[in-house]
Amino acid sequence: MYIDGAWIETRKTFASHNPANGEILGQAPDGNEIETRQAINAAAKAFPAWASSSAYLRSQLLYRAWQLMIQRKEELARLMSEEQGKPLKAARNEVVYGADFLQWYAEEAKRVYGQVIPAPRADQRFISLRQPVGVVAAITPWNYPMSMLTRKMAPALAAGCTIVLKPAEATPLCAMAVFKIFHDAGFPPGVVNLVTARDPEPVGEEMVSNPQVRKITFTGSTYVGKQIASKAALHVKRVSMELGGHAPFILCPDADPVHAAKGAVLIKGLNTGQACISPNRFLVHRPLVPAFVAELAARTAKLKAGSGLDESVSVGPLISQLALDKVHRQVEDAVSKGAKVECGGHRLSDGGLDKGHFYAPTVLSGVARDMLIWREETFGPVAPVIAYDDEAEILPMANDTEYGLAAYVYTPSLNRAMKLFEGLRFGIIGINDINPTAVAAPFGGMKESGLGREGGQEGISEYLETKLGGFSLG
């Protein structure tokens, strides 16, 4: 662990495994509430000096971390591919994406502005300032084990906050590698702190109950997010939540089904479907279903699964046996209720894949409301196709979920696109676009998909308080 500017060992450790073959990659310290409290104390001690430091100093350190992350891209990508499973090309892209947050917020650190507000009295002046909220506790997921760290750390640090981070128990080595960058960049002791743990509960409990922590930022499941938010509310802590999704992928009646299928297979195969913005329901106008399914299935069947270190592989393993079981349970449930497997639909075991958690990229047609996959987030490489008849059905069907993170629309009509963009109850809408995200753009969801936004100008605002000064000149 990394606490108060030093690497800390513990008597207990836990193993990190390669999901492609089950091999042990290394050991990580197994921390608990004691180490978490130490890290919070260190962050609280470092906060006054860091908060009052020059925005230009904070910017320079973030720039240095950006440079180091780009320099170490290849070694970071290989580690990520081994520990998380994603193909090496995708891992390289994530390292660059993660580094981009450091660069962006190095720039935004110098753009935290206040205001002079007109007062109702001639002898009065109002001035507002934006100041760092305080110690931040961050909890990050395994599916993007480096970029999700920098997406939280960069704006918090730019704002003048200090931070304690707990990474996912499945990917502690990736987090340790990122913190080596912050250490080598020269961040002062206590400003950034890392606590790794096999059991997240004691760490999380300390984070939400410790009065020195003033902000919780979490990315993960909606169920866990609700628990954290409810406990944080008892202490009136600010929270940001990036939670689950159940994204609709809509083909309007005038869409090109072949063109849409090309985009669909790319976004569905992203990170083996283990992405919160991954499409979970493909809503297709019935006359377009045959052409869309044929193209989607043909392209999906060509996806090669295997170890991410193999440059020819496009689909990696699922993160665990539990994830594999969930995906297969959804497919079996759908088939038992009338869905048709167009391709895939089984665990992959040939050629040594039985040692890992591999599931064949799958396309299902004839999916209906009584199936688990209609409601549950899959987090796997399964594309369920749902036919609709009337264009008036699109919005009710798409919005029929407690989630509200991402949605996708294919149509050449500006009129249709604008109506759906405005009517869909989701935080991110891709209009003929399978990648509607960027460091400079706000990322976040509605309803049970989360609170707050990450990225863009909104991202740093999550870590700032507004303070008003009223000055009497009489």
What residue type is assigned to position 275 of the chain?
A
Q: Which residues, listed in sequence order, are joined to residue 194 by a DSSP beta bridge?
A: 2, 165
Which entry of 206, 276, 377, 448 is annotated as an active-site residue? 276
Distance of alpha carbon 321 from alpha carbon 319, whole angstroms: 7
Q: What number of other Cβ atoms are within 10 A of residue 350's Cβ?
A: 8
Count H helices and E strands in the chain, helices first: 15, 20
Tell the burial category of 211 from Cβ atoms under 10 Å away from its Cβ (0-12, 13-18, 19+). exposed
Residue with tokens 């919070």: 40
Which entry of 35, 242, 295, 454 is annotated as an active-site residue? 242
Distance of alpha carbon 315 from alpha carbon 76, whole angstroms: 19
Q: What number of other Cβ atoms are within 10 A of residue 410's Cβ?
A: 27
Residue 242 bears catalytic tag? yes
Structure tokens at 265: 């297979």
Tell the burial category of 25 from Cβ atoms under 10 Å away from its Cβ (0-12, 13-18, 19+). middle
8 A C-beta contact, residue 158 and residue 133: no
Q: What number of other Cβ atoms are within 10 A of residue 458's Cβ?
A: 15
Half-sphere exposure of 427 (CA within 13 A, CB side): 27
Distance of alpha carbon 126 from alpha carbon 417, whole angstroms: 43
Exposed e or buried b per residue across 65-87, where buried means at least 16 C-beta atoms within 10 angstroms of its C-beta: bbebbbebbeebbbbbbbbbbbb
- Give every CB contact of residue 11 below 8 A, 6+ residues apart in sequence: none
List the one residue out of 202, 185, 195 whose CA is nearest residue 149.
195
Structure tokens at 133: 């909220």
Strand positions, DSSP E, 38-99:
none
Expressed in angstroms, the distance from the first to the final Cα of the chain is 55
Residue 402 bears catalytic tag? no
Strand positions, DSSP E, 377-438:
382-388, 406-410, 428-431
Express the helix, strand and coil content of the chain in percent, nearest 5 each: 45, 20, 35
Q: What are phi and psi of 136, to 5 degrees?
A: -110, 135
| Size (the chain), residues | 474
User: Residue 166 in 3-state DSSP?
Assistant: strand
Distance of alpha carbon 223 from alpha carbon 388, whole angstroms: 30
Residues tagged active-site = 242, 276
